[in-house]
Structure 1
Amino acid sequence: MTGALDADRYAGHLIRRAEQVHTSLWSKFVSETVTSQQFAVLDALRKGPGVDQSTVARLTSPDRSTAHHIVRLLTEQHYVSRTRDLSDRRRTLLALTAEGRTLHASLAPDAERINDELLAVFPGERRGEVLQILARISQR
């Protein structure tokens, strides 16, 4: 029988704790109403308007049902518009509305700030490496 895991050496535990720190900072400094996942969708649409929901899901990493829920919520709040793709009527294209662009612009500086704060625990020359490691883990 194996002994208990050392939580400080267990990647899943540390990732979960890091996410808790991120969520706390997000609520305190960015928004108590717009989640970081919702912001990720807004940001993806700011970078690439006119993409479909599957593309948004792939870019922001939630599963398809979570992406659908977030897009529906942001649409109901008038931050995202949906239009049928004229060349493929099965696809719905998404874009930020004027309100969505304003919301994104109001949140982006503070989102950058907490990102910088999270990375500040690493020496400057290691921050890129940390982001690469996190990206590799998130692509599994």
Structure 2
Amino acid sequence: MRPIVIANFEYVGAERFIVTLLYDGSDELLDTVILPCETPVEATIIIRRLAERYSIASPVVWTSDTALYGEMLSKPGYAGAIKHKSDTSITRRVIEQESEILRELYGIEAPAAEPKPVLPKWRSWMLRPLRKLVTKLEGDGRYEI
């Protein structure tokens, strides 16, 4: 079986990265490359360099990104295959695992926590008797819970 490169664009904050994973013929992970990348042209160059590092003439590339797939079709030497997102979900998992390191390396700010909305009056009106009931059931603080 031929080596496979799984490649997708993923985001950390507003920064776009290309995530590429190279598997050998026996489905063992050989290499993972995560680099900032804005265009599919840059991504194909990164994939080509990764393949050349391991002496792969024509890499089989799985992707869920249609723009990246289209770029691979327009260039010789790529055996591109468009796959369902579930087939390439490993790229999302990798970027989630490495997101903190990438934030530090590239100075990406963590997203600000959104403030919680104010509880509507009708809900607080409904909750008041329920909270009283819970305190009575708990024994008004007489028991350790």
Alignment TM-score, normalising by the size of structure 1:
0.29
Q: Which has the higher strand share?
A: 2
State which structure, 1 or 2, has the greater radius of gyration over its C-alpha atoms: 2
